[in-house]
Structure 1
Amino acid sequence: MAVTREAVLEPGQIAERLARDLPAWHFEDGWIKRTYKTNGWKGTLMVINTVGHLAEAAWHHPDITASYAWVEVRLTTHVSKGVTEKDLALARKIEEVVGWQPGREGGVLEGTPTDPRFAYIKYDK
């Protein structure tokens, strides 16, 4: 498999794109990062597995750190030694899927009940 080095984005470009498209993410130490808060271990595992599935499907793998009620996702393109379009694209997909709240869409899927026994993600909105 040939290794392709993607163009590394400049810090100003990264900051602009995060502010516009991924406001919950930030750029630090050569990575774009996001921490998802959960209601406990069940939610933490769901976030990790969701990110893992998306990363494997994209063939672009983040670093993940987790604890009982949070998951930190960090993205950089290792072979390019910096943040590239691949990182931003995967971050957008992760944000879309992990942050999905079907109950707010008004369709037939009502979403997770508000009962704390069933809560698993602490949504930003």
Structure 2
Amino acid sequence: MAELLTEDELTSALNHLSSWRRDGSAIVRTVELDSFAQAIQVVNRVAEIAENDDHHPDIDIRWRTLTFSLSTHSEGGLTAKDTALATEIDSVVDTFRSQA
């Protein structure tokens, strides 16, 4: 069972996750990739990580624009699971952007 982050913990985490913003009880990041195919590759890699972590983001796909939303629904808010997955998503996005 994951514990909810305190406001100070969340603020500190978001200082290191500069592409993410808080949206109520979730953190959200929108990213634009070079193509639809690249966006789907990112989604597929994030899906593999999410399955491995047993923690799944909400993902909105709009052509080559992806919006990731993270929240630990079972806990009713944000936990370290969310900030850890956000870090992993950032790494995936950075990897695919550097390949372009």
After TM superposition, is the score higher than 0.5?
Answer: yes
Q: Name the count of aligned residue pairs.
A: 100
SS of residue paired to 2:81: helix
* Partner AA of 2:30 in structure 1: T
Of structures 1 and 2, the one with the larger relative CO (CA 8 A, separation 6+) is 2
Supply the distance in 2 between the matched residues of 1:41 and 1:100 (Cα, whole angstroms): 16
Instruction: Say whether 1:58 aligns with 2:53.
Output: yes
Alignment equivalent of 1:7, drawn from 3, 23, 31: 3
Per-residue CA deviation, residues 80-121 of structure 1 (Å, 9 max, x unaligned), is 00000111111111111221269xxxxxxxx63xxxxxx4xx
* Partner AA of 2:56 in structure 1: H
SS of residue paired to 1:95: helix
Structure 1 residue ranges (4+ consecutive) displaced by more than 3 angstroms after TM superposition: none
Which structure has the bigger radius of gyration? 1
SS of residue paired to 2:74: helix
Greater mean deviation of Cα atoms: 7-16 or 67-76: 7-16
Residues 101 and 79 of structure 1: CA distance in aligned 2, closer, same or farther (over 3 Å): closer
Aligned sequence identity (%) = 31
Structure having the higher strand fraction is 2
Q: Is the 8 A contact 2:38 2:96 kept in 1?
A: no
RMSD after superposition: 1.8
1:17 is aligned to 13
Instruction: Say whether 1:34 aligns with 2:29.
Output: yes
User: Which aligned pairs between 1:1-125 and structure 2 lie closer than 5 A?
Assistant: 4=1, 6-19=2-15, 21-100=16-95, 112=99, 119=100
Structure 1 unmatched runs, 5+: 103-110, 113-118, 120-125
Structure having the higher helix fraction is 2
TM-score, with length taken from structure 2: 0.88
Supply the distance in 2 between the matched residues of 1:100 and 1:48 (Cα, whole angstroms): 13
Deviation at 1:29, TM superposition (A): 1.5
TM-score, with length taken from structure 1: 0.72
Residues 18 and 55 of structure 1: CA distance in aligned 2, closer, same or farther (over 3 Å): same
Deviation at 1:38, TM superposition (A): 1.0
